[in-house]
Amino acid sequence: MSRLKINVLLFIFVAIFNAQNLFAQDSLYNDLPKVWNLNECIAYAKKNNYTINSLKLSSKSAAQDLIASKAAKYPNLTGSVTQNAAHYNSGTQSSSGYGLNSAITLYNGGYLNNDIKSKNFSQQIANLAIASAENDATIQITQAYLNILLTRENITYLNDLLKTSKAQVTQGEQEYKIGTIAKNALLQLQAAMASDNYTLVTAQNQLQQNILTLKQLLQLPTKIPFEVAITDTVKNTETLMDLNAAQDKALQIRPEIKSGMLNIQLEINEMEKAKATIRPFLSLGGSLSTGYSSTSFGSYPNQLNNSFNQALGLTLTIPIFDRKVTQTNVAKANIEILQARLSLLNTKTTLTQAVETAYLNVQNANSQYDAAKEQFIYTGEALRVAAAQLKLGVDNIVEYLQQKNLYIQALQAFIQAKYTANLNTKIYDFYTGVPITE
């Protein structure tokens, strides 16, 4: 086959291989939703987040460690085959040997049993690390998702304001033509319209940034289109759980607390493993062997039969002095136990403080929401009256624009307060085991 044909075939093979890889990668995203809601975002992150998947692999590795620790209690079995040849002045010699060897630990001071317990604790801790990472991702995604809804609602109101401003400019231009208003009044209306348009464009840009933030949190490729569902977020009016009850509940169910408690048990078992190394070690071993030599008398089968050996023995190892290695390891293990207890205490303190902060955030956000809602209602009504009076020529443009600015401030404060209250309530409930949903 010519070099040209080889190169062509190689090129075709590489092209097909790359096409298959691209198809496989694209197929991973075929089932993604066209429009994402909060539940879908959270579910996708739990399944595809790199950090979470890395922790899942660590959990699988810990499971293999547990399997290996249990298997250490079983006997092992090894086989051996040897074949030798030698040449002397008087001739040549060949020999062969065959053997089986096995050993089992009968007693080692409880080391193997405690090692199994330790590996079991390690696997549980690895699983709890996954749960903690999922909780962190849930909070981050919820906050990013609600930021999108906040900005989108803000844009809706700002669009309405801009439409009103455009209508007022159109009316002002007509009134200016017939001499009803001065040039300065028309310019003020046009400036207000430009300001409203700028505010709207800024909000639209912020929406794109918030969407990008959520998309990057989900670790979606750039080429994947991403759109968030349009939902109406209503402030949660359900009664909050009492703070003390919420703290107690969080201490019972949060994975970081369970992990800290298991870590103490793990360190206790590690200390028992260290103590086991100073205790006697008893093992049982056995072997079967046979062989053949060309210099010996007898046929090959007879030699194998005649040289067949069986051996069985007990070995007791008694540590006498190990240069304080065990004593040092036990002391260090005890320090690790104290460290684990201190770490758990710190985790509990951090969690109770976080729940307390979340509770205060909800209280503050609710009171701020009530005040912002009242302000929004009254400034909206005042703006409506000012617009009607402006149209009738009772108020001047300056008074109207002042009232409009107050309304915009109240509007943005109201929307911010509503979503802040919603987010803080979700976070507080999440600490007590209530799932975050749409």
CB–CB of 285/102 below 8 Å? yes
Most confident among 86-90, 183-187, 316-320 (mean pLDDT): 316-320
Per the listing, tokens 């209250």 go with: 421
Q: What is the pLDDT of residue 7?
A: 55
* Fold held by 40-73+108-279+319-431: Outer membrane efflux proteins (OEP) (1.20.1600)
Q: How confident is the model at residue 302 (pLDDT cuts 50, 70, 90)?
A: confident
pLDDT digits (tens, 9 = 90+) for 11-51: 565 555 555 554 444 556 678 998 999 999 999 999 999 99
Per the listing, tokens 């409506």 go with: 384
Mean confidence (pLDDT) of the chain:
90
Per the listing, tokens 């049993």 go with: 113
Exposure b/e, 183-212, CB count within 10 A at least 16 = b: eebbebbeebbebbeebbeebbebbeebbe
Domain assignments of the chain as residue spans, ordered by start = 40-73+108-279+319-431, 75-107+280-318
Considering the four listed CATH numbers 3.40.50.300, 1.10.1370.40, 3.40.50.620, 2.20.200.10, the one that applies to the domain covering 75-107+280-318 is 2.20.200.10
| Alpha-carbon span 328 to 340, nearest angstrom | 18
Q: What is the pLDDT of residue 391?
A: 77
Q: What is the pLDDT of residue 78?
A: 97
How far is CA 306 from each of CA 289, 298, 303, rounded to the nearest angstrom? Answer: 11, 9, 5
Tell me the mean pLDDT in the region 273-277.
Answer: 94
Q: How confident is the model at residue 86 (pLDDT cuts 50, 70, 90)?
A: confident
Q: What is the pLDDT of residue 22?
A: 46
pTM: 0.85
| Alpha-carbon span 277 to 227, nearest angstrom | 61
User: Percent of the chain, pLDDT > 90?
Assistant: 73
* DSSP calls for 408-430: HHHHHHHHHHHHHHHHHHHHHHH
User: Which one is predicted more confidently, 328 or 29?
Assistant: 328
| Alpha-carbon span 224 to 221, nearest angstrom | 6
Helix (H) or strand (E) holding 86: strand 76-88
pLDDT at residue 215 greater than cutoff 70: yes
User: Percent of the chain, pLDDT > 70?
Assistant: 91
Q: What is the pLDDT of residue 31?
A: 81
pLDDT at residue 288 greater than cutoff 50: yes
